[in-house]
Amino acid sequence: MIRIFEILIALLIVFLLAVLVGVVLPDHGHIERTVEVPSPLRQVYDSVNSFRRFPQWTGMRAFDPNIKMTLSGPEAGVGAKVSWTSASPKVRDGSLTITKTEQDSSVEMALDNDWIGTNRTYKITLQPTANGKTVKVTESYDVDYGWNLVHRFGGLYINGEPSAIVQGNLASLSAMLAGFPNTDYKDQKIDVVNVEAKPVFLVNTKAKRSLEEVADATSTAMTEIEEALKKAGLTAAGPRMTITTEWGEEDYTFSVAVPVSATSFTLDGQTYNIETPVPNQSDEGVDESGQPKTYGPGEKDNKGYLVVDGNVRAALWYQGTALYTEYTGSAAQLPLIRLNQKAYAETHGYRYSEGGVGRFWDEFMSEPDTPVDQEVYRVYLPITR
């Protein structure tokens, strides 16, 4: 009987000691980790102020590569939400909701899962370094334990899954950003717009990467298009378009296009409809001798474009969503404008292909005699949201 009494006393002492230790333990948990990235500040901010790229940079994938995620709410900013389901005991089900943002400075997120504690939050803070070439990215995790002593003891293990996920977030974010074009688009206004399809006459061409040679190739193509318009009985119905195929190290491959006044035309008594091109997979575009194949008026080439006359083709140009920006200045800066749009698409999680009718195009909005540094262009990049 005395032995039992001694055991009970010992247990009571242990319990009281545990309570005493629990009372003095912190009622709040905090961890933070930091990484430096050589990316423009706006790129980093846009990447974390939305969950569209979250599946690529979340550290939870290290625990569960098969985690399933669903986005809801606005695309970015306060109210944007990602929910996930996972069979991993280290991840489990949960969600994150952006609750507060400061432009190019910080993003706060509320975490809803079954980890211990309340008011669970992540905060990502961005700080440009003194040299201006990198950005210090700090992610912290905070949680309140209150007077729940069990949770306070559990807080001793905050350097487990929470810490590992924060560290994984930063490592994956850094790797993802390294794959984006390293260009700063913060001073360029870029909008998401809906574009209606329009019929165009176009000529595929190529020139050395100089303003003079590109201008000469464009002028030659425009002459061909104007002659084809006369034969087809159509007129120009919009500004000249330049459609980028490839901006190479030495050469620029592109198409010159002009919107036309109708979706059909007549040549030699035959009426043709202008349609969205569909590539002919069985046609390689070369003849039996390996030379480029010649197509006659009214035929469709291997890329699905309707042949009008000579080098002139007809197509129904892009319908859908695109990134849009307006630029004033020399055409020499257009490659940078396009690169900025690609970087913007990457950080916002928009897909683009740069093939077929999904290529970049710009519209020349100025009169032919406008000074080079005052030329106005509208630049589009087709995207999928």
Please check whether residues 196 and 70 belong to one and the same domain: no
* 51-97 pLDDT, tens digit each: 999 999 999 999 899 999 999 999 999 999 999 999 888 888 999 99
Q: Which residues constitute the domain of residue 362?
A: 192-282+293-383
* 93-144 pLDDT, tens digit each: 999 999 999 999 999 999 998 877 788 899 999 999 988 789 999 999 988 7
pLDDT recorded at residue 75: 95
Residue 3 has pLDDT above 90, yes or no: no
Domain count within the chain: 2
Please check whether residues 89 and 233 belong to one and the same domain: no
pLDDT recorded at residue 228: 96
pLDDT recorded at residue 294: 84
- Evaluate whether residue 7 is within a structural domain: no
pLDDT recorded at residue 31: 86
- Evaluate whether residue 6 is within a structural domain: no
What is the CATH classification number for the domain harbouring 90? 3.30.530.20
Please check whether residues 199 and 173 belong to one and the same domain: no
Phi/psi zone of residue 311: left (φ > 0), alpha (ψ -120 to 50 degrees), beta?
alpha
Please check whether residues 140 and 201 belong to one and the same domain: no
- Evaluate whether residue 11 is within a structural domain: no
Domain boundary among 178, 201, 225: 178
Please check whether residues 266 and 225 belong to one and the same domain: yes
* 321-369 pLDDT, tens digit each: 999 999 999 999 999 999 999 999 999 999 998 888 889 999 999 998 8
Please check whether residues 114 and 241 belong to one and the same domain: no
Domain boundary among 178, 200, 226: 178
- Evaluate whether residue 14 is within a structural domain: no
Domain boundary among 137, 152, 178: 178
Please check whether residues 128 and 241 belong to one and the same domain: no
What is the CATH classification number for the domain harbouring 359? 3.20.80.10
pLDDT recorded at residue 9: 55
Please check whether residues 198 and 162 belong to one and the same domain: no
The Cα 335–Cα 94 span in angstroms is 42
- Evaluate whether residue 307 is within a structural domain: yes
Residue 14 has pLDDT above 50, yes or no: no
Please check whether residues 209 and 139 belong to one and the same domain: no
- Evaluate whether residue 50 is within a structural domain: yes
Please check whether residues 91 and 168 belong to one and the same domain: yes
- Evaluate whether residue 75 is within a structural domain: yes
Nearest CA-CA partner of 209 in 264, 247, 239 = 247
Q: What is the mean pLDDT of residues 296-317?
A: 93
Please check whether residues 131 and 212 belong to one and the same domain: no
- Evaluate whether residue 237 is within a structural domain: yes
Please check whether residues 297 and 172 belong to one and the same domain: no
5 pLDDT band (50/70/90 cuts)? low
Is the Cβ–Cβ distance between 135 and 20 less than 8 Å? no
pLDDT recorded at residue 152: 47
Q: Considering the entire predicted model, what is its pTM?
A: 0.89
